[in-house]
Homo-oligomer: A and B are copies of this chain.
């Protein structure tokens, strides 16, 4: 039998927290313990790299699955089943010795006790890796927090999907033309990859799917409006990619508003900074993310909601606390404000930290992290995508779209999902159909709580 380590009451920090569980029951072992907060891209790459490494690994996540976020927009627009883009974390590492998953929320880090506080109890660590990513940044705008649809998690994608379909069910019923227009107007804020991809997918729904479902509606009234504060779309990509994306979106009937931002939204009226008003029942908020900073990290180690790390991903001021992925800000000559908050950075940092931790255990020297930019891409509806490669090469169109599909299939986490996703895509492509247009609400909206 494995011997249980019961963390007794004496060990609890005096923070006034109430613990329902006396212990989180991780077996005691002679191996040094790495606690990882978050099963996103960074966390899972790290664990993979640590297989047979001589550590005990404990991972916390508030979902029991990894979410493949780049395809969330397809769930929101009825292209894919939610289950297709989620990989159960226990399954991913099911065969791995000395790996323990705990389904819980991490509430506080207590560095002076080398311990973290979670919703199921507290646990000591030898090494701590903070990999809990980012959350939607509403810039403190209450109206937007309360009334907009973010797109960072699977339940949110299901919520947006249900909203889109319910709007059309309502539009069929209303007598006032203005109200129908407002129900059929979709405003997407943020011209990054997520915003562009949602807008393109909605354009596809407008052209090829919805008119058949809702014969009674006039689809000239359906408006898709993409709003971006910068003067071009995909501002992290090349100028050429921006221009192509704009061209492709227009072909799908998307109206693009550049250089403007949303001032307020009450659930019906979108007001821009130049006081333009757009009547819309649906505002998709894809205007930015911010780091998920956990209580307990000193203020001096935090900058702009990200945790400052050195080139080894060590958190400023600590030897054995690391941060990787979106939450980490590693300032370099190339990236004076830290790396972009992107999946490839997270994956590379996870993998790299895995190597460094193994080196640390063996008394070897750590190697600095260097980001290898493989390029970036975004897809815009059927048949079109834009790709930037390193070295200022870029291209778009059908070939880019095939490459986009291929890369996403390669990176999606489980083989079974690849099979399901590929058969969905092939089916959708040849039938101009979206099979999953179901109104299944995944949670009762408590929008005020979203910030948490």
Interface residues of A (CB under 8 A from B): 2, 4, 6, 21-25, 27, 63-65, 81-84, 86, 88, 90-91, 94-95, 100, 102-103, 120-121, 154-155, 158, 165-166, 169, 172-175, 212-214, 216, 414, 416-417, 419-420, 423-424, 427, 431, 433, 435-444
Bound CA–CA A82/B86 (angstroms): 14
Count of this chain's copies in the oligomeric assembly: 2
Bound CA–CA A63/B216 (angstroms): 19
- Give chain B residues whose Cβ lies under 8 Å from the Cβ of A102: 169, 172-173
Q: Which residue of B lies closest to A22 (CB)?
A: B175
**A440 and B216 contacting across the interface, CB-CB below 8 Å:** no
Q: Which residue of B lies closest to A4 (CB)?
A: B175
Q: Which residue of B lies closest to A91 (CB)?
A: B213
- Give chain B residues whose Cβ lies under 8 Å from the Cβ of A417: 435
- Give chain B residues whose Cβ lies under 8 Å from the Cβ of A420: 81, 420, 423-424
- Give chain B residues whose Cβ lies under 8 Å from the Cβ of A95: 212
- Give chain B residues whose Cβ lies under 8 Å from the Cβ of A27: 216
**B175 and A436 contacting across the interface, CB-CB below 8 Å:** no
**A173 and B442 contacting across the interface, CB-CB below 8 Å:** no
**A169 and B103 contacting across the interface, CB-CB below 8 Å:** yes
- Give chain B residues whose Cβ lies under 8 Å from the Cβ of A424: 416, 420
**B63 and A439 contacting across the interface, CB-CB below 8 Å:** yes
Taking the closest CB of chain B, its distance from the CB of A69, in whole angstroms, is: 15
- Give chain B residues whose Cβ lies under 8 Å from the Cβ of A2: 216
**B175 and A23 contacting across the interface, CB-CB below 8 Å:** yes
Bound CA–CA A424/B100 (angstroms): 28
Q: Which residue of B lies closest to A65 (CB)?
A: B438
